[in-house]
């Protein structure tokens, strides 16, 4: 957390309402998102209890395991879940575009991709475990399950893994997404409660939000009091209907909150980099779909060492790119870097648009710009700079001191003897320069390797699930 | 008045509550909190106190989780810990044919601690002793100058005079990985037992290092009930625990500034219902200094009461450690905001944070208008 966010939190606490920490939306919001709120049985690793899900806010589907310890009922639930999620996911594979690539065959990329929204990070973790518990099952053999179950397991695994990828919007955790855009007046720990965080953003803090009788937890864990007083007796009664209705009371409030949160995010204008990150998501999704279609085996139990290292490196790059993009897209995020001296903004007070370097044929146009700033610049001469105002340009810091910074534009000036109109900032214009660079831009045409690590140059041996995997107990 | 008596007064008429390792690990996590140190030192039932104050703790355990935990533990311990023994053999590479099994719980509660001492002493003395599993040993630990008895929910394994603490937990290990926060909590708790057992050995004149810093963690594997054991090195947790325990001010010192008759007694009636006026109890508690942090929300029964107090005081602690660290010691929200908008002059030593806050405020204003 930055000091800027800390200050916003203090202000929120003082004013009794959350404060914005972003001026644009940094995540993609699908036209037809799927909201998915899974619940698990307390004390178990991955025993599903229920889920409320759907792409239509007026018609949520409620799927319940009336006796979570019954293996057959669990797999029946998994098959039902597959019956809702798979058609949604696969529906996006119909319309594709052909993407040309350098040094590789062109590939088909889905025009749009599924977006499955879960309430919180624990929800993503549970999706991962659900995926793990399903993907090695088989439709034949001693413990057969419906064919859709292992397939769903692979997709859930994919979505949960992709959720860890910085800047991906395929499976956002709602509290995280909200927390990227608003600072509440409570701690990060308390922000994990969807009802509490939303209360801060909309009406101000409310003790009701922490009362499980008014706002049941948004899963995957249920309220222990509910377990003891309502759920356990309902299960004992043997009435599936009673269990279902009990669980409905726990899920419906969160369902409403999820859609309220979607509306809040939709109210923000989309950031400039969102589309290109979503394009990456679409590529990754298409890669995964192709992988499944080719009949490749399910994701391994664990990444091999090399794959894990490659994955880590990829994630780090993605994180850096995501941070930089958000700063370029959003002055309030850039302000964090201005505060630490890695960026500065101010008014242009002087320019030399005709400045050149070199002689004869190697003579190049290198316009100079002098900016007056109140920011504490901590950049040394020679540092390469970029600017959100002219993203194609590169610049270099010449000197800084006493509130004046001189920069030299070094890239993107073209070959002409004079600068094209508008290429050099005019006196009086407000500009911002930063040492952050967004070298993310090099790769968006490629499908994300993450989806296909073991087909495209992924060094680890293929994981071939055996009978033991398929028959693994799920008690 | 002697300190023990003062602590008895603090607690009132109810018998002291035993400590569980979880509470001690949490206590050590917030060593600066005098309120908690006093309440725990006196053995006050914090859960009951919080409930009576109208701030019941947000912890509850689901009956499903409890059942699952019990079933798993019973499975591991069935037939004199046969399954546990099998795992220990593999894990520690021991040529153990057969081991004795002592359930210390079988002796009366008042004798259990003495009994534990005798058993451990005998084992530590005899290097050729066959392996033994001690179930429910009652260990104690010195906390802030007072003896705290630990809830005996652990197994100690001894072979050839070497001891291992065994913890049975019901969170799953899936593909060799478990929820890191659950493992961390288990390691912190196990460290409490390792320290307690080492202390006991030392008291008995044995080498405390006979207790291994590698604890045996037994969890269900993947999605089934089958147990799997792994070794967890708790040296780091031990070091932290030791440091925190020595940092905790002695209770005697904490008692010094307090009135002699201060009490957190709930004055239960014959049916055990508290009759103490709530405002009076709250006042008594406010006499002690708390050190609220959001972590309290998962570790201390008093958390909602203390959070409410922090809110009323406008303490920046409410926002969490990260924010507090960012603010470099500016403790109140009003003070920090005053420095940010320039309505308050920085005190000595606050110049740097004040400059940063003013800058941050300027940037936020510029971007949001
Ligand atoms: S909740 Fe209160 S008493 Fe408990 S540790 Fe935190 S500050 Fe201390």
Encode pLDDT of B317-327 as tens digits.
999 988 888 89
Reported confidence tier of residue B249, pLDDT bands at 50, 70, 90:
low
Chain B residues within an 8 Å CB radius of A302: 175-177
Q: Is B302 in the pocket of ligand 1 (CB under 6 A)?
A: yes
Chain B residues within an 8 Å CB radius of A10: 316, 319, 323, 333, 336-337, 340
Structural domain range at position B329 = 314-369
pLDDT tens profile B156-173: 888 877 889 999 999 999
Indicate if the alpha-carbon torsion angle A110, A111, A117, A120 is positive or negative. positive
* pLDDT surpasses 60 at A152: yes
Residue A103: C-alpha distances to residues A96, A445, A451, A452, A455 (Å): 21, 12, 19, 18, 17
Q: Give the C-alpha separation, A205 to A119, whole Å.
A: 19
pLDDT tens profile B173-212: 998 888 888 898 899 999 999 999 999 999 999 999 999 9
Query: B5 or B208: which carries more pLDDT confidence?
Result: B208
Q: Is B307 in the pocket of ligand 1 (CB under 6 A)?
A: no
Query: Do B318 and B235 share a structural domain?
Result: no
pLDDT mean over B278-293: 94
Give domain status of residue B268, yes or no.
no
CB contact under 8 A, B69 and A43: yes
Neighbour count for residue A406 (Cβ, 10 Å): 17
CB contact, 8 Å: B292 with chain A? no
Query: Do A108 and A26 share a structural domain?
Result: yes
Which pLDDT score is estimated for B363? 96
- DSSP character at residue B214: E
Structural domain range at position A349 = 343-434
Mean confidence (pLDDT) of chain B: 87
* pLDDT surpasses 90 at A380: yes
A332/chain B closest Cα distance in angstroms: 6
State pTM to two decimals: 0.91
Q: In this structure, what CATH number is given to the domain that contains residue A381?
A: 2.40.10
Q: Give the C-alpha separation, A329 to A325, whole Å.
A: 6
Boundary residue ending a domain (B221, B244, B267):
B244
pLDDT mean over A330-343: 95
Query: 3-state DSSP helix/strand/coil percent for chain B, to nearest 5?
Result: 50, 15, 35
Q: Give the C-alpha separation, B50 to B57, whole Å.
A: 7
Chain A residues within an 8 Å CB radius of B333: 10, 13-14
Query: Do B90 and B228 share a structural domain?
Result: yes
pLDDT tens profile A439-473: 644 444 344 444 444 434 433 344 555 656 666 66
Query: Do A199 and A294 share a structural domain?
Result: yes
CB contact under 8 A, A227 and B171: no
pLDDT tens profile B19-48: 777 777 777 677 778 898 888 888 889 999
Residue A427: C-alpha distances to residues A384, A424, B134 (Å): 22, 10, 82
pLDDT tens profile A195-237: 999 999 999 998 888 889 999 999 899 999 999 999 999 999 9
Q: Beta partners for B230? A: B217
Query: For chain A, what percent of residues have pLDDT higher than 70?
Result: 92
Give domain status of residue B152, yes or no.
yes
Query: For chain B, what percent of residues have pLDDT higher than 90?
Result: 44
Give domain status of residue B77, yes or no.
yes
Reported confidence tier of residue A398, pLDDT bands at 50, 70, 90:
very high
Helices B333-341 & A3-15 angle (0-180, nearest 10): 110
CB contact under 8 A, A332 and B294: no
CB contact under 8 A, A189 and B294: yes
Domain count along chain B: 2
Boundary residue ending a domain (B227, B244, B261):
B244
Answer yes or no: are the C-beta atoms of A389 and A364 closer than 8 Å.
no
Query: A21 or B131: which carries more pLDDT confidence?
Result: A21
Distance from residue B298's CA to the centre of ligand 1 (Å): 10
SS3 B33: coil
Closest C-alpha to ligand 1, atom 3: B36
Boundary residue ending a domain (B189, B211, B244):
B244
Domain count along chain A: 2
Which pLDDT score is estimated for A446? 41
Query: Do A152 and A61 share a structural domain?
Result: yes
* A187 → closest Cβ in B65, B222, B320: B320
CB contact under 8 A, B363 and A43: no
Give domain status of residue B293, yes or no.
no
Which pLDDT score is estimated for B123? 83
Q: Let me know the angle formed at the C-alpha of A93 by A87 and A99, rounded to the nearest 5 degrees.
A: 165
């Amino acid at each position: 957390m930055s000091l800027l966010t800390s200050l916003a939190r203090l202000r929120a606490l003082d004013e009794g309402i959350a404060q914005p920490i972003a001026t644009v939306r940094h995540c993609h919001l699908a036209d037809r998102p799927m909201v998915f709120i899974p619940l698990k049985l307390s004390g178990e690793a991955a025993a599903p209890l229920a889920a409320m899900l759907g792409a239509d806010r007026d018609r949520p589907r409620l799927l319940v395991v009336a006796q979570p310890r019954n293996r057959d009922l669990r797999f029946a639930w998994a098959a039902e879940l597959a019956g809702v999620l798979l058609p949604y996911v696969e529906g996006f594979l119909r319309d594709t575009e052909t993407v040309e690539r350098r040094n590789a065959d062109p590939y088909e990329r889905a025009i749009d991709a599924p977006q499955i929204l879960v309430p919180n990070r624990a929800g993503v973790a549970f999706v991962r475990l659900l995926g793990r518990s399903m993907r090695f099952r088989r439709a034949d053999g001693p413990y057969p399950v419906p064919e859709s179950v292992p397939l769903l397991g692979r997709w859930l695994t994919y979505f949960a893994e992709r959720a860890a990828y910085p800047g991906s919007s395929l499976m956002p955790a709602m509290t995280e997404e909200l927390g990227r855009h608003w600072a509440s007046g409570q701690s990060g720990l308390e922000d994990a409660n969807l009802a509490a965080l939303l209360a801060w953003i909309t009406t101000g803090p409310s003790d009701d939000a922490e009362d499980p009788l008014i706002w049941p937890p948004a899963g995957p864990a249920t309220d222990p009091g509910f377990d003891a007083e309502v759920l356990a007796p309902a299960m004992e009664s043997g009435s599936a209907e009673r269990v279902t209705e009990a669980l409905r009371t726990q899920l419906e409030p969160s369902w409403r909150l999820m859609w309220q949160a979607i509306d809040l995010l939709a109210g923000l204008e989309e950031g400039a980099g969102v589309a290109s990150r979503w394009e990456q998501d679409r590529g990754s999704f298409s890669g995964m779909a192709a992988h499944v279609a080719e009949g490749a085996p399910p994701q391994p139990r664990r990444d091999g060492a090399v794959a894990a290292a490659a994955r880590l490196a990829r994630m780090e790059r993605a994180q850096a790119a995501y941070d930089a993009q958000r700063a370029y897209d959003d002055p309030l995020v850039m302000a964090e870097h201005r505060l630490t001296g890695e960026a500065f903004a101010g008014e242009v007070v002087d320019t030399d648009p005709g400045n050149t370097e070199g002689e004869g044929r190697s003579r190049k146009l290198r316009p100079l710009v002098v900016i007056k700033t109140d920011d504490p610049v901590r950049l040394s001469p020679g540092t390469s700079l970029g600017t959100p105002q002219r993203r194609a340009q590169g610049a270099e810091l010449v000197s800084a001191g006493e509130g004046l910074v001189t920069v030299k534009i070094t890239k993107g000036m073209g070959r002409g003897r004079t600068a094209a109109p508008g290429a050099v900032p005019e006196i009086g214009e407000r500009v911002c320069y930063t040492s952050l660079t967004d070298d993310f831009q090099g790769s968006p045409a490629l499908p994300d390797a993450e989806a296909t690590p073991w087909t495209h140059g992924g060094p680890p041996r293929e994981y071939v699930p055996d009978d033991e995997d398929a028959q693994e107990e799920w008690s | 008045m002697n300190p023990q008596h003062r602590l008895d007064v603090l607690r009132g008429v109810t018998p002291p509550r035993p400590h569980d390792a979880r509470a001690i690990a949490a206590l050590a996590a917030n060593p600066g909190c005098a309120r908690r140190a006093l309440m725990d030192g006196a053995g006050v039932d914090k859960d009951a106190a919080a409930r009576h104050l109208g701030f019941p703790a947000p912890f509850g355990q689901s009956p499903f989780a409890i059942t699952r935990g019990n079933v798993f533990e019973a499975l591991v311990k069935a037939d004199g810990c046969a399954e546990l023994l099998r795992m220990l053999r593999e894990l520690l590479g021991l040529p153990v044919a057969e081991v004795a099994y002592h359930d210390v719980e079988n002796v009366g509660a008042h004798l259990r601690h003495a009994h534990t001492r005798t058993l451990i002493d005998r084992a530590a003395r005899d290097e050729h002793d066959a392996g033994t599993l001690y179930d429910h040993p009652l260990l104690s630990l010195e906390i802030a100058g007072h003896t705290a008895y630990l809830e005996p929910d652990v197994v100690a394994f001894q072979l050839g005079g070497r001891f291992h603490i065994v913890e049975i937990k019901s969170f799953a290990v899936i593909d060799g990985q478990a929820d890191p926060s659950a493992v961390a909590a288990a390691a912190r708790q196990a460290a409490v037992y390792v320290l307690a057992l080492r202390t006991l050995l030392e008291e008995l004149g044995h080498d405390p290092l006979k207790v291994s810093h590698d604890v045996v963690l037994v969890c269900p594997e993947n999605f089934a009930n089958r147990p799997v054991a792994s070794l967890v090195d708790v040296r780091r947790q031990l070091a932290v625990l030791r440091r925190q325990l020595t940092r905790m001010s002695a209770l005697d010192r904490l008692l010094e500034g307090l009135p002699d008759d201060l009490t957190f007694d709930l004055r239960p009636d014959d049916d055990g219902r508290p009759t103490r006026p709530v405002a009076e109890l709250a006042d008594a508690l406010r006499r002690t200094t708390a050190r609220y942090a959001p972590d309290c929300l998962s570790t201390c029964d008093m958390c909602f009461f203390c959070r409410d107090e922090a809110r009323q005081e406008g303490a920046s602690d409410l926002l969490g450690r990260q924010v507090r660290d960012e603010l470099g010691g500016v403790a109140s929200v009003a003070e920090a905001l005053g420095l940010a908008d320039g309505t308050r002059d920085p005190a000595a030593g606050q110049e740097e944070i004040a400059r940063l806050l003013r800058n941050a405020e300027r940037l936020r204003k510029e971007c949001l208008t």
